[in-house]
Amino acid sequence: MPPGRAQLRSLTERARREGSRAALAHAARRAAAGVAAAVADRRLEREQRRRVLGPAHRGWDEHSAAENRRRWTSWDWTAHGEEWTASAEWKQALIDEVLLPHVPDGSAVLEIGAGGGRWSEVLRTRARELTLVDVTPHVLEVLGERFGGDPRVRLVLSHGADLPGVPDRSVDVVWSFDVFVHVAPLDQAAYLTEIARVLAPGGRAVIHHADGRNRGRIPSRGGWRAPMSANLFAALARERGLTVAGRVRSWADGRHDFEAYGDVITVLSA
């Protein structure tokens, strides 16, 4: 059904339930919200095109640390985050082509936003020491139950944009997947500052984040994504002394990609 007809049908049904005045008021509110969102997206797009963390990004009031903490505290972590895995083939190909090449055996590894340990289990097989960082105390409890018996694993509670207690230049690899896409732009920038601080010379960071400039889209309205672009992310990284070593948009010879959301993995080197 075309969007216009679907909206008309919804309006008609609401009018039957609540009366025409209430239905029209609801429609007006939705229209106003749509206009505001479109204006905000244009401002975000202009800043991303200029590679500037400007007022639109700085003023973004969603995806705060407190909001993330509330959301992930109430989440059911029984599946350890595998509910976001598209398929076993999807995950294994990502491990083989992205994770393993950037995480040498015997590395000191830090994962930002470890969640239920979806990637931590794989990282643990490569790491001589593994620091798992999360903003949610409940998540750290879940991780402690899963990995607490391993003396190589350390759990760190972040305030939402920092890596407290992690020494300077002590980490060989930083990994983060399905996390920065839900982190406010200012907090992403603060995390990059921390990544630059903790990475040892020659170290790598492999970060999955939104790319608002992919195919001209601002993915801030679907999938609960925070606005960011590959070019802006790169500019923020360079400001902090990091180098963009590569980007990943698809893997397994193009069989798997981020097309649904327009995300990207940026690989940074210290």
Neighbour tally for 27: CB within 10 Å: 16
pLDDT of residue 121: 96
Element (H, E) at 111: strand 107-112
pLDDT of residue 33: 47
* Position 241 in a domain: yes
Per-residue model confidence as pLDDT tens for the chain (270 residues): 444 565 556 646 655 666 666 545 554 555 454 555 677 788 999 999 999 999 999 999 899 999 999 999 999 999 999 999 999 999 999 999 999 999 999 999 999 999 999 999 999 999 999 999 999 999 999 999 999 899 999 999 999 999 999 999 999 999 999 999 999 999 999 999 999 999 999 999 999 999 975 444 544 456 788 999 999 999 999 999 999 999 999 999 999 999 888 899 999 999
Helices (H), the chain: 3-18, 20-50, 55-58, 65-73, 88-94, 100-102, 120-124, 137-147, 185-198, 230-239
Tell me: do 231 and 205 sit in the same domain: yes
Identity at 125, one-letter amino acid code: T
pLDDT of residue 23: 47
Tell me: do 125 and 12 sit in the same domain: no
Q: What is the DSSP letter of 163?
A: -
| pTM of the predicted protein model | 0.86
Tell me: do 160 and 190 sit in the same domain: yes
Tell me: do 237 and 124 sit in the same domain: yes
Which structural domain range is residue 253 located in? 62-269
pLDDT of residue 215: 47
| Rounded (10°) CA dihedral 131, 166, 138, 73 | -110
Residues 212 and 219: beta-carbon distance below 8 Å: yes
Q: Which residues pair with 167 in a beta bridge?
A: none
pLDDT of residue 221: 52
73: domain CATH number? 3.40.50.150
Identity at 64, one-letter amino acid code: S
Q: Number of folded domains in the chain?
A: 2
Tell me: do 66 and 46 sit in the same domain: no
Tell me: do 12 and 132 sit in the same domain: no
